[in-house]
């Protein structure tokens, strides 16, 4: 009889423990950051009025339909604008939507490519839903927020790397600062990006978005609590 009572007690304790674990799992699920509810074309779904540029394979920078059409025409005409040594004929320059894009175009088209790359985060439905890239961030907190630092690799060599915060109480990505990748396409060590100050009413962690301006590729680098750390 005593053994039966002992086994019953253990079963009740185990059941209670499992219930507590299930409850905790439910709370963690509820507390997880919200994701975009409708991304029909994946994490790089363009905002209304934009389409993928597709200058090179994998190019998902969002541009106007006219720019994509012009880009396709440039791809078709590119070989006729190039010298046998690989350089462009007089009057043309490499387009450089990314470092490997050596299609020869008019200078105005290269300027447009730079501009489209720079505006890439604003033209996505949800830049905070993009995948993690080669950059990571870390925050050292203080009473009014925190200092944001970054490190990483896999970036366009010698090109700007811009940092933004999303999922905060602003319209669109919030600019934090920029660094420049070295000749190996890396941000060595932990480099200072910004002094983030807390915002009244901010209840969720902010997602840090990274723009590799040399390619227009947008990725995420982690989160920070600095925007809601007010003392």
The whole-number pLDDT of residue 183 equals: 98
Residue 23 has pLDDT above 90, yes or no: no
Mean pLDDT in the chain? 87
86 alpha-carbon distance from chain centroid: 33
Pair type for strands 51-52 and 62-63:
antiparallel
Other C-beta atoms lying within 10 Å of the C-beta of residue 174: 18
The whole-number pLDDT of residue 226 equals: 96
Give the CATH fold of the 128-228 domain: Immunoglobulin-like (2.60.40)
Number of H helices, E strands in the chain: 3, 11
Rounded to an integer, the average pLDDT of 70-98 is 97
The whole-number pLDDT of residue 25 equals: 32
* H-run or E-run covering 19: helix 2-31
Residue 187's pLDDT band (cuts 50, 70, 90): very high
Specify the range with the lowest mean pLDDT, choosing from 38-47, 54-63, 84-93, 122-131: 38-47
Residue 19's pLDDT band (cuts 50, 70, 90): very low
Question: Which tokens go with 81?
Answer: 């604008």
Please tell me whether the overall predicted TM-score, pTM, comes out greater than 0.85 for this model.
no
Specify the range with the lowest mean pLDDT, choosing from 32-36, 44-48, 165-169, 194-198: 32-36
Domain(s) of CATH 2.60.40: residues in the chain = 128-228
């Amino acid at each position: 009889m005593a053994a039966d009572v002992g086994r019953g007690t253990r079963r009740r304790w185990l059941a209670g423990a499992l219930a507590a674990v299930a409850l905790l799992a439910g709370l963690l699920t509820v507390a997880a950051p919200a994701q975009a509810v409708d991304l029909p074309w994946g994490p790089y779904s363009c905002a209304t009025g934009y389409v993928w540029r597709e200058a090179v394979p994998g190019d998902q920078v969002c541009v106007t339909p006219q720019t994509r059409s012009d880009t396709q025409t440039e791809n078709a005409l590119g070989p006729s604008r190039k010298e046998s040594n690989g350089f462009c004929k007089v009057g043309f320059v490499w387009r450089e939507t990314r470092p490997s894009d050596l299609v020869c175009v008019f200078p105005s088209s290269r300027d447009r490519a730079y501009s489209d790359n720079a505006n890439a985060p604003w033209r996505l439905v949800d830049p905070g839903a993009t995948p993690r890239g080669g950059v990571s961030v870390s925050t050292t907190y203080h009473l009014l927020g925190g200092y944001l630092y970054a490190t990483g690799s896999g970036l366009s060599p010698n090109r700007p790397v811009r940092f933004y915060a999303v999922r905060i109480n602003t319209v669109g990505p919030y600019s934090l600062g920029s660094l420049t990748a070295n000749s190996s396409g890396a941000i060595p060590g932990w480099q200072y990006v910004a002094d983030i100050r807390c915002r009244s009413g901010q209840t969720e962690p902010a997602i840090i978005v990274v723009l590799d301006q040399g390619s227009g590729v947008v990725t995420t680098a982690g989160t920070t609590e600095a925007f809601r750390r007010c003392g």
